[in-house]
Amino acid sequence: MATGKLLRQLIKSGIEGNAEAFRVASEEVIKEERQKQHHLLANDLERLLYGRPREIGQSPGRSLEKAPVDRERNLALLDLREPVRRLEDAVLSDETRSAVDEVLQEHHHKERLASYGLRAADRLLFYGPPGCGKTLTAEVIASELGLPLAIVRVDAVVSSYLGETAANLRRVFDFAAANAAVVLFDEFDALAKERADEAEHGELRRVVNAVLQMMDAYIGRSVLIAATNHESILDLAVWRRFEEVLLFEPPNLDQLRRLLALKLRGVRREFEVEDAAVTTLFKNMTHADVERVLRRAIKDMVLLGKEFLALRHLETAARRERPRRLRKQGK
Ligand SMILES: Nc1ncnc2c1ncn2[C@@H]1O[C@H](COP(=O)(O)OP(=O)(O)OP(=O)(O)O)[C@@H](O)[C@H]1O
Ligand SMILES: [Mg+2]
């Protein structure tokens, strides 16, 4: 919990209606909670304060071109964000973690590689089911490299106007080349579907070709990451374009224990995360599911006025999560 001094500042500025002092005090609270590794709370507070994780333009000392827009509808093609979470915030399989480490190493020693005519890997493909850390890992790579995160808004890029989709893609790739950022193409499958898909008309085929050409021609300071949870529909030619392909899967038992320890850091509890009675509650859940159950359980604990998180809070929360998971699995 934030120190008394900070809380006093926070309440005082709130009562006085001093927006600037309130913002400063709130940011201090968030910083403090993050230092204590209370990332869930810090993220929630940040969302409350900014509406969503902080945008790049608002952070001092970084100059970045404005995000390009779709001409027809004036929609931003990219969401620019200041990455917050670090490597220790992601629980990954050994293979995925070492691939991430390798990519980071290559970028940390870019110049040395360049002196041998080599480039650090800058085209990565992340695949796997929802909620297992693809977007999180893109954020982690951005923060470890000290770069902003630019998330491509596929809904804005894909235009119903003939030719406009390819023009939007051009703008995104131009932005990536002109700036240093981690550019995440979320829902990449929507852009790069199997070219032979008969149901799709010629326009989509042209889009796929445009993406492939731009990927090939891309030279720049940004790291391009494509993420998908429909990897089977990706065009084969797309796979070849990526230097690293990383799989994100639901946690195994060891990863689940690490995830529980991470997300419950700083929460007083009556159980050990290794207890089988605890881990079985989370069987077959994705990381995001686990996080949601924990958040629910912690809320229950707080609302019931308890100081310790108990197994029964987890059980109730897991039970309440069940209908959503069954619906997701189509059962
Ligand atoms: N591997 C992980 N380690 C720690 N936390 C995770 C992990 N995966 C997911 N989470 C938590 O769940 C949230 C949602 O995950 P994320 O957005 O990264 O999933 P995703 O794989 O990108 O899913 P989608 O395919 O739906 O985009 C994250 O912000 C994080 O808090
Ligand atoms: Mg995602």
- Amino acid (1-letter code) at residue 38: H
The closest ligand to the CA of 44 turns out to be 1
Cα separation of 22 and 11, whole Å? 8
Say whether pTM exceeds 0.85: no
Spatial CA neighbour of 10 closest among 39, 41, 32: 32
| Residue keyed to tokens 């080599």 | 118
pLDDT at 247: 95
Cα separation of 179 and 200, whole Å? 33
pLDDT at 61: 40
SS3 19: helix
Contacts 24+ apart (CB under 8 A), 227-230: 227/125, 227/126, 227/127, 227/134, 227/135, 227/138, 227/184, 227/185, 227/186, 227/187, 227/188, 228/125, 228/126, 228/127, 228/187, 228/188, 228/189, 229/127, 229/128, 229/129, 229/130, 229/134, 229/189, 230/189
- Give the model confidence (pLDDT) of 28-86 as tens digits: 888 888 778 777 787 778 777 775 555 444 444 445 678 899 888 888 999 999 999 99
Q: How many A from CA of 317 to the centre of ligand 1?
A: 19
The closest ligand to the CA of 90 turns out to be 1
Ligand 1, atom 11, lies closest to the CA of 288
Ligand 1, atom 17, lies closest to the CA of 135
Q: How many A from CA of 250 to the centre of ligand 1?
A: 10
123-127 vs 244-247, strand pairing mode: parallel
- Give the model confidence (pLDDT) of 304-321 as tens digits: 999 999 999 999 999 988
Considering the domain 253-328 in this protein, what is its CATH number?
1.10.8.60
Helix count and strand count (H, E) for the chain: 14, 6
Q: How many A from CA of 5 to the centre of ligand 1?
A: 35
Number of residues that make up the chain: 331
Ligand 1, atom 5, lies closest to the CA of 90
> Is 131 touching ligand 1 by the criterion CB < 6 Å?
yes
Ligand 1, atom 4, lies closest to the CA of 90
Q: How many A from CA of 110 to the centre of ligand 2?
A: 27
List where CATH 3.40.50.300 sits in the chain: 56-247
List where CATH 1.10.8.60 sits in the chain: 253-328
> Is 134 touching ligand 1 by the criterion CB < 6 Å?
yes
Asked if 311 and 277 touch (Cβ cutoff 8 Å), the reply is yes
Q: What are phi and psi of 19, to 5 degrees?
A: -60, -40
Laid out side by side, the sheet with 78-81 consists of 78-81, 149-152, 182-185, 223-228, 123-127, 244-247
Asked if 21 and 13 touch (Cβ cutoff 8 Å), the reply is yes
Considering the domain 56-247 in this protein, what is its CATH number?
3.40.50.300
Spatial CA neighbour of 261 closest among 251, 253, 272: 272
Token couple for 6:
């900070």
Cα separation of 269 and 264, whole Å? 9
Given ligand 1 and candidates 291, 324, 328, which is best to mutate, with the most ligand atoms within 8 Å of its CB? 291
Cα separation of 147 and 152, whole Å? 15
Cβ–Cβ contacts within 10 Å for residue 206, how many? 15
Cα separation of 73 and 156, whole Å? 8
Q: Which atom belonging to ligand 1 lies closest to the Cα atom of 138?
A: 18
Intervals of the chain under pLDDT 50: 55-62
> Is 43 touching ligand 1 by the criterion CB < 6 Å?
no
